[in-house]
């Protein structure tokens, strides 16, 4: 069973400073890739992380950025699963030298 958390609980979690609370029970982050190829690299990393967690974000690749939205669809809001995946996505972006913006 998945337990929901509030937007405030999400924002207070460590390692999610790249993420913004969106009004619809979602969080989002935009990563400045600088090129389409780096965006594809980041999406490949996000895909592997999402599959490993069995928790899949909405991802939008555009030149020169990747926008990611997270929510736990089965509860219609946020959960610890979103905190964990947000942290992992931010860490993957940092490893690739990609900043948020």
User: Residue 12 — pLDDT band, cuts 50, 70, 90?
Assistant: very high
Looking at residue 101, what is its pLDDT? 85
Q: Is the dihedral of CA 27, 91, 73, 67 positive or negative?
A: positive
Residues, the chain: 101
> What's 52's domain CATH number?
3.30.1360.20
pTM score of the predicted model: 0.96
| Total domain count, the chain | 1
Domain boundaries, position 33? 4-100
pLDDT at 50: 98
pLDDT in tens, 18-72: 999 998 899 999 999 999 999 999 999 999 999 999 999 999 999 999 999 999 9
């Amino acid at each position: 069973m998945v337990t929901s958390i509030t937007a405030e609980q999400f924002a207070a979690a460590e390692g999610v400073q790249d993420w913004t609370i969106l009004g619809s029970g979602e969080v989002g982050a935009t990563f400045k890739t600088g090129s389409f190829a780096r965006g594809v690299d980041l999406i490949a990393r996000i895909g592997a992380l999402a599959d490993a967690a069995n928790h899949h974000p909405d991802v939008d690749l555009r030149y020169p950025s990747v926008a990611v939205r997270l929510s736990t669809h089965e509860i219609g809001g946020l959960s610890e699963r979103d905190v964990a995946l947000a942290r992992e996505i931010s860490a993957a972006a940092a490893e690739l030298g990609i900043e948020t913006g």
